Chain A
């Protein structure tokens, strides 16, 4: 089953990676075809597995502040900044086609 244009548009907006060329679409089709092999496996009654460590308790540490105050270091790698703010282009406008 081919990937519809609606799905592609939707995906592009979700993924925010454009893939408009035919090569990209073909690649996606092949990926889906490949994944379809999963349906050959009978998984009735099988619990999905999130983690191989599911039989263990997750470690929770004490709610104590142990580090922080590293604003300067964290800001170093940002290109556009003003004081302690990361600067984004104005407004969250829906994806404009370039």
Chain B
């Protein structure tokens, strides 16, 4: 089915009165309830969502909607501060923490009239690539319950067997990806430090955009790696991502790492033209472990561009394989610093120990953080020790420059956009995934996404096809700094070519979403 701009479509429906914001909100809330087994949400903000929907309805009645996003249900990853709403980062350290303020990006969404339906699940403090390591449990990939997966993977098995075959969403923004993928919201915020928006987008069959570092404010996003974090955007189609980007991008005086250039929101051409572009295929992204079918898909995609008249050339980013090692050092070092604020005094969990300040800090942090977080803090502190600082931290910063330089050289030679796979394989079953520890998994899964964070470049996952197991596989486009318009134009063109199938969710009692589908598409059983 050809996807239209879902935000625009439902937005038009709201404006024409075919459906009211409260009805839309209630449908999404009801769907959240019936998909609770996905564990995509940590907090569902039913009351405030309905209130926001009513306010939106009032504006539509007066004929004065705030914009395209007015009345549209959205979800936000639980590492963004949301005023008056619990923000946990899926950690015991922040259980019960009620944010006193809205992150800038959250405020911007609310100012546009968006309806916040809930805070989504993630790996604890965004550390992980499976959305399996949070204290509220793992997120289940909605595609585990799709007809497509069932038919390919377990056509004859009983539901008990199927229970153990559910697959992960990827991470760390798995809750947001699952929420968008299962239609409980129209757009969701994630974060992306090493691939945390693009990875789950690929596994859940949705669009995941990592903007250029410095384009969107990080104020209110609980930081992981200050020099690499960006808010990520998850939607069901590229046009929607462009709409949300347009509303979020721009300088924020509260975040001095946002650039001061004036941002011009853009609309993507209806019929994008890629014939004048140069698409680079970095050979190092043919990484060990890349599945045969993704390799074939990547090759097919390159051919599509060639046939359309684009110049498709192989390029080299020689330091790609060191990106993950570099990330390991820089990430743990910044984490060691960023996690120092959690001491139990001003907010968050506090241990009952009262023997001394330091022992209270230590007990609080032992009780509040899971092993992954503690491990990274410890490693980070190790790399920052005086005797190690040059050998590890500074060394990693030097390698970072080499990685960034690889990209600027390729773009400097005339390549407009890079085309790569997003993940090595389709989503793994949870029981398989947890056989390896978090660090090993992250090192494996981030390999194709991490370098873009290292260089601060914009990158996007576009769902490309279903794997042999009936699960989504996506491809990634990496663009030049601050050239989101070109990047999204290419992404939109590709999206139109592949016509990625709609998920056919079975085990959910679905209401009639007829008004939301102004397109021919498979119905729900």
In the complex formed, the residue of A with least CB distance to B453 is A52
**Given A14-B381, A16-B365, A31-B332, residue A88 in contact with residue B359 (CB < 8 A):** no
- List CB contacts (< 8 Å) of A47-98 with chain B: 47-53, 56, 58-61, 70, 73-74, 76-80, 86, 88-96, 98
Contact with A along B349-372 (1 / 0, CB 8 A): 010011111111111011001010
Measured in the bound complex, the distance between the Cα atoms of B101 and A74 in whole Å is 10
- List CB contacts (< 8 Å) of A8-41 with chain B: 10-19, 24, 27-28, 30-32, 34-35, 37-41
Number of A-B contacts defined by CB within 8 Å: 189
Query: Of B258, B369, B404, which contacts A17 at CB under 8 A?
Result: B369
Measured in the bound complex, the distance between the Cα atoms of B356 and A60 in whole Å is 40
Determine the chain A residues whose CB is within 8 A of the CB of B223 once the complex forms.
Answer: none
Determine if B402 and A46 form an interchain contact, defined as CB atoms under 8 angstroms apart.
yes
Looking at B344, B369, B399, B402, which has the most chain A CB atoms within 10 Å of its CB?
A: B399
Q: Does A7 contact B (CB under 8 A)?
A: yes
**Given A53-B213, A73-B100, residue A16 in contact with residue B361 (CB < 8 A):** yes
Determine the chain B residues whose CB is within 8 A of the CB of A91 once the complex forms.
Answer: 356-357
In the complex formed, the residue of A with least CB distance to B228 is A52
- List CB contacts (< 8 Å) of B390-411 with chain A: 391-392, 394-402, 404
Looking at B259, B332, B398, which has the most chain A CB atoms within 10 Å of its CB?
A: B398
In the complex formed, the residue of A with least CB distance to B401 is A49
Measured in the bound complex, the distance between the Cα atoms of B381 and A18 in whole Å is 13
Query: Of B346, B371, B375, which contacts A86 at CB under 8 A?
Result: B346
Determine if B402 and A31 form an interchain contact, defined as CB atoms under 8 angstroms apart.
no
Query: Of B354, B365, B399, which contacts A38 at CB under 8 A?
Result: B399
Measured in the bound complex, the distance between the Cα atoms of B161 and A73 in whole Å is 50
Looking at A43, A74, A79, A95, which has the most chain B CB atoms within 10 Å of its CB?
A: A79
- List CB contacts (< 8 Å) of B307-338 with chain A: 319, 322, 325-326, 328-329, 332, 336
Query: Of A17, A76, A93, which contacts B378 at CB under 8 A?
Result: A17
Minimum CB–CB distance for A29 against chain B, Å: 10
**Given A38-B326, A47-B401, A77-B100, residue A59 in contact with residue B361 (CB < 8 A):** no
In the complex formed, the residue of A with least CB distance to B392 is A35
Q: Does B383 contact A (CB under 8 A)?
A: yes
**Given A15-B336, A70-B100, A89-B360, residue A28 in contact with residue B345 (CB < 8 A):** no
Query: Of A39, A78, A98, which contacts B363 at CB under 8 A?
Result: A98
**Given A17-B366, A35-B329, A58-B256, residue A49 in contact with residue B398 (CB < 8 A):** yes
Query: Of B253, B401, B443, which contacts A46 at CB under 8 A?
Result: B401
Query: Of A19, A28, A52, A79, which contacts B344 at CB under 8 A?
Result: A79
Q: Does B59 contact A (CB under 8 A)?
A: no
Determine if A24 and B365 form an interchain contact, defined as CB atoms under 8 angstroms apart.
no
**Given A31-B439, A78-B345, residue A43 in contact with residue B399 (CB < 8 A):** yes
Determine if A15 and B377 form an interchain contact, defined as CB atoms under 8 angstroms apart.
yes
Looking at A31, A32, A47, which has the most chain B CB atoms within 10 Å of its CB?
A: A31
Determine if B456 and A53 form an interchain contact, defined as CB atoms under 8 angstroms apart.
yes
Determine if A17 and B365 form an interchain contact, defined as CB atoms under 8 angstroms apart.
yes
Measured in the bound complex, the distance between the Cα atoms of B98 and A80 in whole Å is 16
Measured in the bound complex, the distance between the Cα atoms of B391 and A47 in whole Å is 14
Measured in the bound complex, the distance between the Cα atoms of B258 and A56 in whole Å is 10
**Given A11-B381, A17-B378, A48-B398, residue A74 in contact with residue B100 (CB < 8 A):** yes
Measured in the bound complex, the distance between the Cα atoms of B98 and A55 in whole Å is 38
Determine if A80 and B350 form an interchain contact, defined as CB atoms under 8 angstroms apart.
yes
Determine if B362 and A18 form an interchain contact, defined as CB atoms under 8 angstroms apart.
yes
Measured in the bound complex, the distance between the Cα atoms of B399 and A47 in whole Å is 9
Determine if B395 and A39 form an interchain contact, defined as CB atoms under 8 angstroms apart.
yes
Minimum CB–CB distance for A74 against chain B, Å: 7
Measured in the bound complex, the distance between the Cα atoms of B360 and A94 in whole Å is 11
Query: Of A3, A17, A76, which contacts B362 at CB under 8 A?
Result: A17
Minimum CB–CB distance for A14 against chain B, Å: 5
Query: Of B322, B362, B380, B401, which contacts A37 at CB under 8 A?
Result: B322
Determine if B257 and A92 form an interchain contact, defined as CB atoms under 8 angstroms apart.
no
Determine if B345 and A88 form an interchain contact, defined as CB atoms under 8 angstroms apart.
yes
Determine if B356 and A95 form an interchain contact, defined as CB atoms under 8 angstroms apart.
yes
Determine if A51 and B100 form an interchain contact, defined as CB atoms under 8 angstroms apart.
no
Measured in the bound complex, the distance between the Cα atoms of B354 and A98 in whole Å is 11
Determine the chain B residues whose CB is within 8 A of the CB of A61 once the complex forms.
Answer: 253
Determine the chain A residues whose CB is within 8 A of the CB of B347 once the complex forms.
Answer: 77-78
Determine if A19 and B374 form an interchain contact, defined as CB atoms under 8 angstroms apart.
yes
Contact with A along B35-79 (1 / 0, CB 8 A): 000000000000000000000000000000000000000000000
Measured in the bound complex, the distance between the Cα atoms of B375 and A3 in whole Å is 15
Q: Does B385 contact A (CB under 8 A)?
A: yes
Can you list 16 A-B pairs with a CB-CB distance of less than 8 A? A7-B385, A11-B382, A16-B365, A24-B371, A24-B378, A27-B437, A34-B328, A34-B439, A41-B402, A60-B256, A61-B253, A70-B100, A94-B356, A95-B359, A96-B358, A98-B353
The 4 closest A-B pairs by CB, nearest first: A52-B456, A48-B397, A93-B356, A77-B347
With A48-B400, A60-B256 given, name 13 new contacts (CB 8 A): A7-B385, A10-B385, A11-B378, A11-B382, A17-B378, A38-B329, A46-B401, A51-B227, A61-B253, A77-B100, A79-B344, A93-B355, A96-B356
Residues of chain A at the chain B interface (Cβ within 8 Å): 3, 7, 10-19, 24, 27-28, 30-32, 34-35, 37-41, 43, 46-53, 56, 58-61, 70, 73-74, 76-80, 86, 88-96, 98
